[in-house]
Structure 1
Amino acid sequence: MTDINPPVLESKQIIKASLSALVIGTALFVIAVLPAEYGIDPTGAGHLLGFSKLYQPEEPQTAVVSVDGAQTAKALRLEELGSGPNVPLPKEANNPAPSQQLAQRQDSVTIKVPAGEGLEYKLNMLKYGQVKYEWTTDQGVLFFDFHGEVKEENPADETFFESYTVANSANMIGTFLAPFEGRHGWYFKNNTNKDIVVSLRVKGQYLLD
């Protein structure tokens, strides 16, 4: 009968193997688990490797608010602003402002937002260009996201956008200073069963999209 003597690991080998496993496990946790499960990507590797796309935030309990006495809408939350923390700000956003802005102009346009659908209306603006705006619907309330997208030389797969105002309304006025060169404007969403027409007036330094 042959005796089988299994190899005995030395304490140094055990410690080395344990440390290696700890390092690998920590790296996997930071690169894969945190971005995919919790939406946290401290190294940026999760975004590069695609793990961040797996993250699906838990839907908070939906609150409902009254917007015009007859129509209600889902309460909006801070987490809904912009493109999210995993989409980096394009480097072009930090470009200096031009020495001369676009010429002043003013326009009045009507935008038909079909029932149950959404669409965008944008202005092309230079960094630190200014506009004043006013819009009103002919009936009912629209969800809107007033936001901007950076003009990029090589656009990424996921588009960065910064939200300036998100609300449900039938009328809005304001002034705006573009924080970067690009397309700035409104995404309108009609959650009713009737077409809604927006009457928009703008005045300032811009070009129509």
Structure 2
Amino acid sequence: MYNTDMPTRAELPTTTQLLRSTAIAIAGAAVLLVTIVLPAEYAVDPTGVGRVLGLTQMGEIKQQLAAEAANDDLISAVTIVEGEVPLAGDATALQSAAASMNAAAPEQPAAAWRDEVTLTLAPGEAAEIKLVMKRGETARYEWRADQGHVNSDLHGDGTSGQSTSYRKGRTEASDTGELTAAFDGSHGWFWRNRSDVPVTLVLQTSGDYSQLKRVL
């Protein structure tokens, strides 16, 4: 097997040569830092070389974007009182506005429901509730089950024989939204308990309808 010969002492670099190489490397890194890195990343250009190369402009854009992002994060966490909008970038004013809002903002009242119906369905049992509505009328609703799950069908039956299904759900425990009547008639919900335990449903409604009725 051939082994590489060890270098002689004369072939090894001297301490002076090592120090000179180290100094050259440090100087080169410093030049790159001052002329390339600082202008491109932080828009700091003490020599003017970065602006000639277009790097300072790049750094200015990066700094501006970073400042805007930080300002947006702060603004998004604060709901500003109308007529008391602080200047963008004024962190102290934004924090003061947030504290004022938390201290003075009244709680919003819960949505007022016009009707509430409670149904208890045994496993496999079904029920149907309808709202009597005219075409274009809109009602808000929310229903929820205390346990288990149901299949649901939000549909409408028209006075002139029309029918439509607005929404179908499978193995769900709640739903909320708005119902806009596609035609004059009865519009509402059919539920069937598909779980193995009794389910108590609570339906709350409000809006444009003349009557709420149970048809099944």
Could you tell me the TM-score, scaled by structure 2's length?
0.44
Higher-RCO chain (CA-CA 8 Å, sequence separation at least 6): 1
Could you tell me the TM-score, scaled by structure 1's length?
0.45
